[in-house]
Amino acid sequence: MSYGIIEFFNNLLFTNIIFILTSLKNLVMAEKLIIDFTPTGMIPTKTLTPHVPVSVSEIVEDVHQAHQIGITKVHIHARDPESGEPTYKKEIYAEIIEGIRKFAPYLVICVSLSGRTFHKFEERSDTLELDGSLKPDLGSLTLSSLNFNKIASVNAPEMIQKLAARMKERGIVPELEAFDAGMINYAKYLEKKELISPPHYFNLLLGNVACAQADLLHAGIMIRDLPENSLWSLAGIGDGQLVMNSVAIAIGGGVRIGLEDNIWYDSSRTKLARNIDLIKRIHVIAEANEREIMTSTEFRQKMNLEPGNGKYGRNTK
């Protein structure tokens, strides 16, 4: 490749970075800090780390500790009480939600509708049928299929649209999960089809081996492409967690934090993290950046959610 072509592409890259940084500058301090707590996930086991909460009581207690320090919302995964494997069953989710709402009736709760293990609509939508004081406010909606290190998360267009439609019927807001820019474009497509409606909440997950990487350029492009009236948080997979959380705090976004995405406290992987350690560190970084934590009540208002304390999800009337 000739020097002139190399210089052209270097200048183009530099121009794009400047454009993205200029766009991000306008976001600084735009919102209070969303702390989206993800305590369990589908992958961590007690063999990998003794600190991951698996039982109903462990999950509820980790959420209790995090709530006392300060979080905005929680994204929960349920595990089978016998095997410890992920489960879709609404009865287990109901126990977790009931336990959380005893001490935090206003906390925003999102349930997982993951396609990593479960592939039938009836399984993935099971928790959407919870009602009354057990009704979740949000349900996760991954916006395309993708590969993780050892397994695929299968999200066919028909499945995504059926889940979005059922959430709309139930007054449950999609927590839009995007692992690359194409997924954000698909969210805009769903909005055009009136399957989702603003205000939106996005989790932008970076650092997975087959998706957008945990760097400023990838994050900036995804943030730039978000539809209007969107709140967003950055997540980093594995070693990318602290980096992406720090970037998000610095530029005015929210953070997704917890053992679901990263079980280590340090990049050299010498210390296994506890959820409480990760939450405390986020508060230290937030304070250093003069970012106030967004309360669940403030998040509910911005997302047009019911007020909590017995009324949950989005008012469909």
pLDDT tens digit sequence for 281-306: 999 999 999 999 999 999 999 999 99
Q: Which domain holds residue 163?
A: 31-302
Q: What is the pLDDT of residue 107?
A: 98
Domain match, 10 and 57 both: no
Count: domains in the chain: 2
Q: In this predicted model, what pLDDT tens digit does every residue of 222-238 receive, in sequence order?
A: 999 999 999 999 999 99
Pair of tokens at residue 200: 């939106």
Domain match, 64 and 14 both: no
Domain match, 79 and 188 both: yes
Q: What is the pLDDT of residue 309?
A: 96
Domain match, 60 and 5 both: no
Q: Rounded CA gap, 224 and 160, in Å? A: 23
Domain match, 21 and 130 both: no
Q: How would you classify the pairing of strands 152-153 and 173-178?
A: unpaired
Q: What is the pTM of this model?
A: 0.91
Per-residue pLDDT tens, the chain, 317 aa: give them. 555 565 655 555 555 554 555 455 444 445 899 999 999 999 999 999 999 999 999 999 999 999 999 999 999 999 999 999 999 999 999 999 999 999 999 999 999 998 788 889 999 999 999 999 999 999 999 999 999 888 889 999 999 999 999 999 999 999 999 999 999 999 999 999 999 999 999 999 999 999 999 999 999 999 999 999 999 999 999 999 999 999 999 999 999 999 999 999 999 999 999 999 999 999 999 999 999 999 999 999 999 999 999 999 998 76
Domain match, 242 and 252 both: yes
Q: What is the pLDDT of residue 7?
A: 60
Identify the three-state secondary structure at position 244.
Answer: helix
Domain match, 277 and 264 both: yes
* Torsion on CA atoms 95, 97, 103, 107, rounded to nearest 10: 170
Domain match, 35 and 153 both: yes
